[in-house]
């Protein structure tokens, strides 16, 4: 039953009616027209999505979770006079505190999900069910079923649940998110703020968004209203196919401001399939360390434009440790898919099956080459790395930490006298001998030319090169002596190059590429 309208509200409504009537003097509306729609009148505004929504609501569920957490609140329980009307309230609210303040308490949360198989498989976000002790799926018809976690993936924030229905459930299919264009209509259905069964409509605002949520960010951005509780719910195209899983919003207030993000099905579908088949993900692994190809790096390599991923290192024991891919290669195409920028490569590799032999197109020595590699499994490499860290813990001294007197380093090794001011590209260099290794703590497996001094204000200083760094290569040629560096730099200048591409190793051997302007 609706509440009665207050007098002030009546006056406001009367004023509003008056405004409508005044506007009617400009565009008069007769009572006959207002009450009857002519038979030949067409619908105004966008086409209705009521039929589409009606067929999809039954496949969208509300996810309710509960978690037992330890109560660490040490605040004393308020003292309420005996017989106070609020005594029952305080007794219930603070039950379990006081003398037994560490008694666990239950925390509930709400989210969304959708059925992808009539047998009872449900997709949602991992953060919706993370840490839950009890998961329940609430359906549009009012029924409720306990859900079991089949598998989850923290890297894409996805999870797969299973319920045991007495009859087949209404399910929705995955669509191809790659076909969605900016401006296409989309519909979100979910459980915002626990309201359940809420339908909102908008468009695809952008594609391929990186919001630093994970290593495979490739979000669809939409202005369809997404709020707290929509997490895990589906984003549909106008054919009733799921093309995204609503995951995050940007909002200073916690409510929708028209900037929501969905995991596209081109990424999610394979993850969900692996969770269903194996209970875990099985991602491809190439075994390389990469960095972006900047404008300067592209110019130093003779590339027309920046593209691809620059290989900065090869993982020992990885799939390409035998030299199929080399440090300094720029990967521009992987298994038939273009690598437009660095962040594209981890995603396309992860989407590829473990053990698959794929063609990789690289730029090496200024020319495109195609090499074939067989992928390993990312999860195996992560497990091995974690086990190695536990078995062989190492503690490296912090940068700038002083050494004790008995371990004091010797004087700087004599730097080779260079022309003019004695520097190359603003740096003084020396051969990497035993004395230099001891002074800077450089690993035995690092080879190259050690930097002993960097002049402030030079191009090398701008690139944050410092004493103790090792120049391994200049323009993809190995360096052994300071004279090698000088000769290679002079050669690049003669060729009209403006930047020199340096492969730099730190004391542990970790590689990176920097471009230094040749003055």
DSSP of 417-469: P-STTT-BTTEEEEE--HHHHHHHT--TT--SEEEEEE-TTSHHHHTT--TT-
Return mean pLDDT, the chain. 81
Q: Which tokens sit at 45?
A: 């505004």
pLDDT digits (tens, 9 = 90+) for 56-106: 999 999 999 988 766 655 555 555 566 666 566 556 555 555 455 556 666
Total domain count, the chain? 4
CATH number at residue 299: 2.30.42.10
Q: Verify that 428 and 499 share a domain, yes or no.
A: yes
> Does any domain span residue 121?
yes
201 and 239 belong to one structural domain: yes
The predicted model gives 1-15 an average pLDDT of 39
Same structural domain, 423 and 512: yes
At 144-176, the pLDDT tens digits run: 999 999 999 999 999 999 999 999 999 999 999
Cα–Cα distances in Å, from 401 out to 291, 396, 397, 404? 29, 10, 6, 10
CA 204/CA 184 separation, integer angstroms: 5
CATH number for the domain harbouring residue 247: 2.40.10.10
Q: Is residue 400 part of a domain?
A: no
Active site residues: 127, 157, 231
Range of the domain at 105: 53-71+92-162
Residues 324 and 339: beta-carbon distance below 8 Å? no
Same domain, residue pair 199 and 261: yes
Q: Which of 162, 191, 217 is the last residue of a domain?
A: 162
Q: pTM of the full predicted structure? A: 0.69
Residue 48 in domain: no
Q: What is the mean pLDDT of residues 265-281?
A: 95
Percentage of the chain surpassing pLDDT 70?
Answer: 76
Confidence of residue 421 (pLDDT cuts 50, 70, 90): low
CB 324 within 8 A of CB 292: no
- In this structure, the answer to whether residues 441 and 508 fall within a common structural domain is yes
Is 84 a member of any domain? Answer: no
Q: Could you tell me the two tokens for 10?
A: 């009546």
Contact 268, 241 (CB under 8 A): no
Q: Let me know whether 345 and 359 are in one domain.
A: yes
Residues 432 and 509 in one domain: yes
133, 69 in Cβ contact below 8 A? no
Q: Look at 513 and 18; give whichever has higher pLDDT.
A: 513
* End-of-domain residue from the set 162, 194, 216: 162
| Rounded CA separation 128/146 (Å) | 15
458 within some domain: yes
Domain stops at, among 119, 139, 162 = 162
In a domain, 37, yes or no: no
Within-domain flag for 389: no
Share of the chain above pLDDT 90, in %: 52
Give the contacts of 163 (CB within 8 A, at least 6 positions apart). 120, 122, 137, 145, 146, 147, 148, 169
The string of pLDDT tens digits covering residues 397-420 is: 333 333 333 333 444 444 444 545
Segment 183-208, tens digit of pLDDT: 999 999 999 988 888 999 999 999 99
> Quick one: 306 and 271 in the same domain?
no
Given a cut of 90, whether residue 518 has pLDDT beyond it is: no
Q: How far apart are CA 175 and CA 242, in angstroms?
A: 5
Note whether residue 170 is domain-resident. Answer: no
Query: Is residue 269 domain-shared with residue 333, that is, in the same domain?
Result: no
Give the mean pLDDT of 214-236. 93
Are residue 202 and residue 236 in the same domain, yes or no?
yes
| pLDDT (0 to 100) of residue 21 | 24
Whether residue 377 is found in the same domain as residue 419: no
Q: What is the pLDDT of residues 320-350, one digit of tens each?
A: 988 899 989 999 999 999 999 998 999 999 9
Statement to judge: residues 147 and 198 lie in one domain:
no
The band of 27, judged by pLDDT with boundaries at 50, 70 and 90, is very low
């Amino acid at each position: 039953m609706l509440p009665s309208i207050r007098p002030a509200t009546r006056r406001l409504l009367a004023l509003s009616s008056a405004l409508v009537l005044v506007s009617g003097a400009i565009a008069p509306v007769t009572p006959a027209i207002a009450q009857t729609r002519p038979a030949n009148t067409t619908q105004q505004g966008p086409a209705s999505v009521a039929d589409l929504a009606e067929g999809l609501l039954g496949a969208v569920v509300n996810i309710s979770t509960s978690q037992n957490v330890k109560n660490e609140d040490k605040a004393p329980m308020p003292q309420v006079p005996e017989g106070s009307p609020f005594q029952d309230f305080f007794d219930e609210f603070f039950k379990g505190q006081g003398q037994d303040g560490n008694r666990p308490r239950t925390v509930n949360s709400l989210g969304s999900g959708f059925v992808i198989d009539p047998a009872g498989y449900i997709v949602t976000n991992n953060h919706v069910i993370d840490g839950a002790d009890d998961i329940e799926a609430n359906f549009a018809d009012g029924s409720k079923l306990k859900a079991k976690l089949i598998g989850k993936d923290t890297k894409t924030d996805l999870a797969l649940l299973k319920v045991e229905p007495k009859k087949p459930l209404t399910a929705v299919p995955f669509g191809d998110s790659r076909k969605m264009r900016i401006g296409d209509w989309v519909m979100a259905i979910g459980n915002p703020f626990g309201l359940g069964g809420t339908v909102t409509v908008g468009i695809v605002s952008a594609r391929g968004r990186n919001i630093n949520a994970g290593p495979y960010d490739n979000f669809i951005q939409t202005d369809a209203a997404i709020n707290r509780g929509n997490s895990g719910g589906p984003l549909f195209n106008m054919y009733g196919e799921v093309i995204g899983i609503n995951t995050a919003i940007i909002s200073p207030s916690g409510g929708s401001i028209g900037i929501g993000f969905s995991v596209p099905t081109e990424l999610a579908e394979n993850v969900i399939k692996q969770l269903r088949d194996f209970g875990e993900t099985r991602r491809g692994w190439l075994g390389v360390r990469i960095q972006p190809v900047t404008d300067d790096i592209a110019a130093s390599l003779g590339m027309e434009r920046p593209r691809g991923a620059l290989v900065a290192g090869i993982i020992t024991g990885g799939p390409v440790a035998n030299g199929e891919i080399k440090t300094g290669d720029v990967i521009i195409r992987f298994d038939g898919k273009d690598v437009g920028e660095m962040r594209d490569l981890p995603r396309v590799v992860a989407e590829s099956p473990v053990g698959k032999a794929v063609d990789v197109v690289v730029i090496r020595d200024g020319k495109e080459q195609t090499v074939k590699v067989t992928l390993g499994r990312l999860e195996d490499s992560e497990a091995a790395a974690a086990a190695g860290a536990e078995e062989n813990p190492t503690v490296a001294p912090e940068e700038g930490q002083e050494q004790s007197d008995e371990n004091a380093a010797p004087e700087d090794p004599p730097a080779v006298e260079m022309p003019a001011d004695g520097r190359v590209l603003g740096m003084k260099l020396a051969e990497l001998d035993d004395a230099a290794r001891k002074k800077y703590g450089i690993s035995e497996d690092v080879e190259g030319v050690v930097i002993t001094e960097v002049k402030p204000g030079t191009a090398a200083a701008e690139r944050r090169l410092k004493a103790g760094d090792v120049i391994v290569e200049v323009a993809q040629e190995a360096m052994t002596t300071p004279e090698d560096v000088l000769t290679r730099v002079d050669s690049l200048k003669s060729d009209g190059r403006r930047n020199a591409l340096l492969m730099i190793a730190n004391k542990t051997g970790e590689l990176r590429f920097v471009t230094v302007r040749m003055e």
